[in-house]
A and B are shown apart, each in its own frame.
Chain A
Amino acid sequence: EAGVAQSPRYKIIEKRQSVAFWCNPISGHATLYWYQQILGQGPKLLIQFQNNGVVDDSQLPKDRFSAERLKGVDSTLKIQPAKLEDSAVYLCASSSGRGATDTQYFGPGTRLTVL
C-alpha cells in the first residue's frame, strides 16, 4: 500500500514570496491533516479535513495560510506571503477517519526555508 506522498521535499524562498505544498493521502482515507514542525519542536496541527470539509483550522494563520482539499482526495497548503518564522517542516498525514483510535500516517514532509 502506498504511503502519504508530499511534494516538493525541499523548498527555499525569500520572505514575502508565496509557496505551495501538495499532499496525496493514502487511498480511501477520509481525514487529512497538515502540521507545521519547527526545528526542535513537536508537530503542530494547522488544519484538519474530513473528506473535503474543514473540521478544525483554529491554529491556521488565515491571514497568510490557506488550504484546500478539492474532491476529498489531494490537498494543497499555500503560504502567501511567507515570513522568516514560517521556516519549518510541513507534514501531511491521513487517517481512515473512522474513530477515536485512528492511526495517523505521515508523509515525509516538505522542508521550507524562508530567507
Chain B
Amino acid sequence: SQQGEEDPQALSIQEGENATMNCSYKTSINNLQWYRQNSGRGLVHLILIRSNEREKHSGRLRVTLDTSKKSSSLLITASRAADTASYFCATDEGGLVGTASKLTFGTGTRLQVTL
C-alpha cells in the first residue's frame, strides 16, 4: 500500500506563482524524498530531507518536514512552465544494515503551470 498521500491531487497555477504541495505518511522514517516525473525526463530525484531536519532548500525548492505530524511540504517558488509535472513524495523507512534505502512512494500531485 502507498505510504504517502499527497495533497492536492492536482494543482493549476500561472507562471510566476508559487506552488505548494503536501505529503502525509504513516510510519517512522529515516528520510523523505521528493521526485518529479514528466514525460520528457522520467522520474527525477529533487531533494532529500532527513528525519532530524526541519527545512531544506535547493534552488527554487523548499521542503519542510514535521515528524510529529508525519507530514512534509514542497514549495516551488516563481514557477515556470517547465515545472509542469507530477510530484511524488517518497519515504525511506530504513533498510537492513549495510543495504541501500527502500522507498515507498505517495500518490502524487499533478502540477500544471500555464503561461
Interface residues of A (CB under 8 A from B): 30-31, 35, 40-45, 48, 50, 55-56, 91, 93, 95-109
B99 at interface, CB cutoff 8 A = yes
Chain B residues lying within 8 Å of A97, measured Cβ to Cβ, are: 99-100
**Contacts A55-B96, A100-B101 known; A106 to B44 CB distance under 8 Å?**
yes
With A100-B30, A100-B31, A100-B94 as known contacts, state yes or no: A31 contacts B45, CB within 8 Å.
no
> Which of A30, A41, A104 interacts with B103 by CB under 8 Å?
A104
Contact B50–A101 (Cβ < 8 Å): yes
* Contact between A106 and B99, CB atoms less than 8 A apart: no
Residue from the list B30, B45, B95 in contact with A104, Cβ < 8 A = B45
Contact in complex: B107, A95 (CB < 8 Å): no
Query: B-side interface residues toward A, CB under 8 Å?
Result: 2, 4, 30-31, 42-45, 48, 50, 88, 90, 92, 94-96, 99-108
| Shortest beta-carbon distance from A49 to chain B in Å | 10
Shortest distance from the beta carbon of A44 to any chain B beta carbon, whole Å: 7
**A106-B100 contact given A42-B107, A101-B31, CB 8 Å threshold:** no
- A41/B95 in contact, CB under 8 A: no
Apart from A55-B100, A106-B42, 10 more pairs, CB < 8 Å:
A30-B100, A42-B4, A44-B2, A48-B95, A55-B96, A56-B102, A100-B94, A100-B101, A101-B48, A109-B42
Inside 8 A of B42's CB, which chain A residues have their CB?
91, 106-109
A102 vs B103: C-alpha distance when bound (angstroms): 10
Whether A50 contacts B99 by the Cβ 8 Å rule is yes
Closest to A93 in B: B43
Residue from B4, B44, B90, B95 whose CB has the most chain A CB atoms within 10 Å: B95
Of all chain B residues, the one with the shortest Cβ separation from A42 is B105
B99 in contact with A55 (CB, 8 Å): yes
A31, closest chain B residue (CB): B100
Measured between beta carbons, the chain A residues less than 8 angstroms from B100 are 30-31, 48, 50, 55, 95-99, 102
CB–CB B94/A42 < 8 A? no
